[in-house]
Structures are given as structure tokens and as C-alpha cells.
């Protein structure tokens, strides 16, 4: 069915005159691969950055026409910019303002102060601050940390939402036991699901858990943009974004285009994980996102039968790294069976045992994060945008 739908979409595009008067976008090879999942079509048009404004309304018209294809309930068309010269390194939405490169501290000197005005990163209506939970590599417990940190922040009296930005390996639905599909509000926005009082959104809610996401960079960014800006988040004090692991194009573009008030870096104690954590921290600093602190996950293990402590992955490496880099150390999370079991069951330890010692670890971290934000470590408040 999807091949038939793709052909029908291409036929629609061939019949539409591009706004620059140079013919249809299919014949000019401006259309990316078309991806269809659960009745939603995703693709992008690659146009010169100078033509972005002219093509914006054209994209909206395409979306309306594509919805007439049988089995297609909605469509999202993103604009990506062609580079004038040189090899492509992952296109960026052309409609977004181009960010001037910050002066890099290549000489090893102190990091420069932010150079870009906050107005270049439009905020999300109703959301006061956005923070990212990131890691330099996968497998360090970033998503578990993000979920428990978000719930801990909520326990401190804040209105919280969580966005799973890990398109290729979404974990939030499993960690929060979310099985329902989000519903659409008027065909224009998505209503997030409720998870223990938090609003939650993930690509894992839109596609089957076993469906592989084989998308290129522009498609990933288009999906992230929609989940961030076309979801009815309502009034939130904080939106916690569970970032993809690593420091690739999706992570960099997210950091450059979203008004992040700060980032939390998750690492395990061993040297290999810390090397990658340094890369993640350096990426946020280069795009002027404050680092709120480092978390040492799987910090130690206490045998339940003997009470003996084992430093399986070493211990204290993240704390020492935080001190070396001059960023706050947010706390140590033990390698604990209860945290793993509650995560797998979809009832995180912060709600499953809110008065227990493990929940206290996350609540202490949440308090330190709030202290960083209230002390001015967060980014300046960006202006709100309004959907017409």
C-alpha cells in the first residue's frame, strides 16, 4: 500500500507548479525519500535558502493535497537548504534563521560568552523553560535518568512535560507504560499522553515498537520539530527533552534551534564513557547552552545479601570530571535492581517508591537542577511564537 501511496504523492507533486516558476519539484529532484508510517507522510524539499520564504506556503499546500491520498491522514513537509558549494553534511531547515558560528575556544582559553540573541531561537507557547538530558554515548541509562528526573521535578511542585527526542530508539513509552496512540486536535496539533501527571510525547507512540526508523537527518529533524512545536503541551514550567545519544547532526541542530535553558549530561564512571561525555558537554558549550551538571549513573552496586559495595564500573569519575571542567556535579545513581525493575515495568522508582532512598537521589538531583536554573544558569527567556 505504501508504494501506491508514494506514487500518488509524487503524482500530486508533479502536477503542482513550484513558486519559483521553474517547474515541478519532482522533475527537478528537490523531493527527498517519502516515508509513510501509520498514515502519516514525511518528506522534505531541498531549496536554496534564499527561496525558503517563497516555498513555505507551497509546503503547506502540499500537505493539504497529500491528505487526499487514500490512507494518508496527515502529512508534514519540511524545507531543507541546499548548500552553494561543498559536500552536504546534513541539511538544516532553511526556514530557521542561520546561526552565526560562535568563536571556538581552540586555543584552550576560557569559553566565550553567548554571542547569539535569544530571539533567534523561538520559544514554544506555554513552556517556560526547556532542558535537555543528554549523553555522549548510548547505554548509560540516559532515558531512565530523564524520566525519573522529570518525575522528581514534578514532585517538587512543577508542571512538567517530557519529550522523547530519540527517534531511532525511543524508550519513553516503555519506561512510562504508555500504549495508547496520541490523538489529533483538529488535524493541526497532537494531544500528548498523560503519564503520572506529566505530559509525554514520543515517536514510539506513533509507530509500532518493532518498526525500525531508517530516516535521514532532515526527516529526523522534521519529526522532532513537529513533536516539539505541534503538540498541545499547555502551560508547563519545564519540558524535559530526552535527547538522542551522541553528538551527531540531530543533536547539534536540536541544540542550535531550540531555546534550551540548560543540559544535564549523563555518564557512567569509566573512562570510555567519560570521554564521550566530554564531547557532549563540549557540543552544548559551543552552541551556548549552559550545562546544568553531570550525573554519574550506575555509580556503584551494593549486594543485597551482604551489603557489600562494589564499584563495578569504577567510581567518582564523573564527579572528578565535573570538577575538572568547572560544571556542577548533580549526584550518583547506584546500579540498583529496583531502578531497573521499576523502569521495565513502566512505573519508575520516583512514583513507585516516592519515599525510598533511590527516589531521594533523583529528587536531590532535581533540586540541584532547579537551583542552577534559578541562579541564572539557564538561557535567557526567548519570545513566544503564535500559530496562526
**Is residue 93 within 8 Å of 249, Cβ to Cβ?**
no
Percent of the chain with pLDDT over 90: 28
What per-residue confidence (pLDDT) applies to 348?
94
Q: What integer pLDDT is reported at residue 245 of this predicted model?
A: 81
- More confident call, 351 vs 105: 351
pLDDT at 209: 64
Assess whether pLDDT exceeds 80 at residue 142.
Answer: yes
Answer yes or no: is pLDDT of 166 > 70: yes
Q: Which of 161-170, 222-231, 344-353 is most confident?
A: 344-353
Q: Is 53 a residue whose pLDDT tops 80?
A: no
pLDDT score, position 100: 38
CA dist 86 and 49 (Å) reads 15
- Who wins on pLDDT, 369 or 122? 369
pLDDT band at 216 (very low <50, low <70, confident <90, very high): low
* Res 212: pLDDT: 62
Cα separation, 223 vs 322, in Å, equals: 33
Q: Give the bridge partners for 265, in sequence order.
A: 134, 294
pLDDT (average), residues 61-67 = 91
Domain with CATH 3.30.300.130 in the chain: 2-82
Residues composing the chain? 388
| Higher per-residue pLDDT: 151 or 98 | 151
Number of neighbours of residue 96 by Cβ within 10 angstroms: 19
Decide if pLDDT at 286 tops 50: yes
Higher model confidence: residue 285 or residue 38?
285
Contact 65, 11 (CB under 8 A): no
User: 2-82 architecture in CATH?
Assistant: 2-Layer Sandwich (3.30)
Largest separation between any pair of C-alpha atoms in the chain: 76
Does the structure show a pLDDT above 90 at 210? no
Q: What is the DSSP letter of 147?
A: H
pLDDT of residue 115: 41
Q: For residues 248, 251, 255 and 260, what is the CA-based torsion angle, rounded to 10 degrees?
A: -150
Q: What is the pLDDT of residues 252-276, one digit of tens each?
A: 777 777 889 999 999 887 765 677 7
> Residue holding cell 546561526?
99
The Cα–Cα gap between 289 and 259 comes to 8
Q: Give, as one character, the DSSP assignment of residue 373.
A: I
pLDDT(92) > 50: no
pLDDT, one tens digit per residue, over 19-48 is 988 899 999 988 877 877 667 777 778 777
Question: What 3-state class would DSSP assign to 160?
Answer: strand
- pLDDT for 232 equals 92
Calculate the alpha carbon distances from 61 to 11, 26, 44, 277, 365 in Å. 15, 16, 14, 43, 46
Residue 158 reports pLDDT greater than 60: yes
User: The whole model's pTM is what?
Assistant: 0.66
344 pLDDT more than 90: no
**pLDDT at residue 187, rounded to an integer:** 67
**Is residue 160 scored above 90 in pLDDT?**
yes
> What local confidence, expressed as pLDDT, does residue 75 receive?
81
Q: Is 265 in contact with 275 (CB distance < 8 Å)?
A: no
pLDDT above 70 covers what percent of the chain? 79
Per-residue pLDDT at 162: 96
118-377: which CATH topology?
A: Rossmann fold (3.40.50)
Residue 69 — very low, low, confident or very high, per pLDDT cuts 50/70/90?
very high
Cα distance between residue 78 and residue 117, in whole Å: 25
Calculate mean pLDDT across residues 154-177: 90
pLDDT of res. 8:
92
At residue 140, the pLDDT reads 84
Write out the residue limits of the CATH 3.40.50.300 domain(s) in the chain.
Answer: 118-377
Amino acid at each position: 500500500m505504501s508504494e501506491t501511496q508514494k506514487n500518488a504523492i509524487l503524482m500530486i507533486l508533479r502536477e503542482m507548479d513550484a513558486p519559483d516558476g521553474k517547474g515541478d519539484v519532482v522533475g527537478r529532484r528537490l523531493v527527498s525519500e517519502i516515508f509513510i508510517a501509520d498514515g502519516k507522510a514525511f518528506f522534505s524539499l531541498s531549496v536554496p535558502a534564499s527561496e525558503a520564504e517563497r516555498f513555505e506556503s507551497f509546503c503547506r499546500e502540499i500537505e493539504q493535497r497529500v491528505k487526499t491520498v487514500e490512507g494518508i491522514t496527515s502529512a508534514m513537509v519540511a524545507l531543507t537548504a541546499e548548500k552553494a558549494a561543498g559536500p552536504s553534511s546534513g541539511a538544516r531547515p532553511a526556514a530557521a534563521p542561520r546561526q552565526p558560528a560562535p568563536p571556538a575556544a581552540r586555543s584552550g582559553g576560557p569559553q566565550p560568552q553567548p554571542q547569539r540573541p535569544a530571539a533567534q531561537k523561538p520559544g514554544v507557547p506555554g513552556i517556560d523553560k526547556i532542558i535537555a538530558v543528554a549523553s555522549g554515548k548510548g547505554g548509560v541509562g540516559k532515558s531512565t535518568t530523564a524520566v525519573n528526573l522529570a518525575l522528581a521535578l514534578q514532585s517538587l511542585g512543577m508542571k512538567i512535560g517530557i519529550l522523547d527526542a530519540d527517534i531511532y530508539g525511543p524508550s519513553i513509552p516503555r519506561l512510562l507504560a504508555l500504549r495508547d496512540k496520541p490523538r489529533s486536535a483538529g488535524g493541526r496539533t497532537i494531544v500528548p499522553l498523560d503519564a503520572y501527571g506529566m505530559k509525554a510525547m514520543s515517536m514510539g507512540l506513533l509507530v509500532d515498537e518493532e518498526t525500525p526508523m531508517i530516516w535521514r537527518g532532515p526527516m529526523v529533524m522534521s519529526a522532532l520539530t513537529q513533536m516539539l512545536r505541534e503538540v498541545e503541551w499547555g502551560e508547563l514550567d519545564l519540558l524535559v527533552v530526552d535527547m538522542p545519544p551522541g553528538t551527531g547532526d540531530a543533536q547539534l541542530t536540536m541544540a542550535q534551534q531550540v531555546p534550551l535553558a540548560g543540559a544535564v549530561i549523563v555518564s557512567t564512571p569509566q573512562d570510555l564513557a567519560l570521554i564521550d561525555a566530554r564531547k557532549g558537554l563540549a557540543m552544548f558549550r559551543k552552541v551556548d547552552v549552559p550545562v546544568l551538571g553531570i550525573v554519574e549513573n550506575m555509580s556503584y552496586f551494593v549486594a543485597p545479601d551482604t551489603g557489600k559495595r562494589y564499584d563495578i564500573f569504577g567510581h567518582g569519575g564523573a564527579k572528578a570530571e565535573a570538577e575538572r571542567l568547572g560544571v556542577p556535579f548533580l549526584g550518583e545513581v547506584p546500579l540498583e535492581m529496583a531502578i531497573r525493575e521499576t523502569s521495565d515495568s513502566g512505573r519508575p522508582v520516583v512514583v513507585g517508591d516516592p519515599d525510598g532512598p533511590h527516589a531521594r537521589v533523583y529528587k536531590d538531583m532535581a533540586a540541584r537542577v532547579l537551583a542552577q536554573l534559578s541562579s541564572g544558569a539557564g538561557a535567557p527567556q526567548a519570545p513566544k511564537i503564535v500559530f496562526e
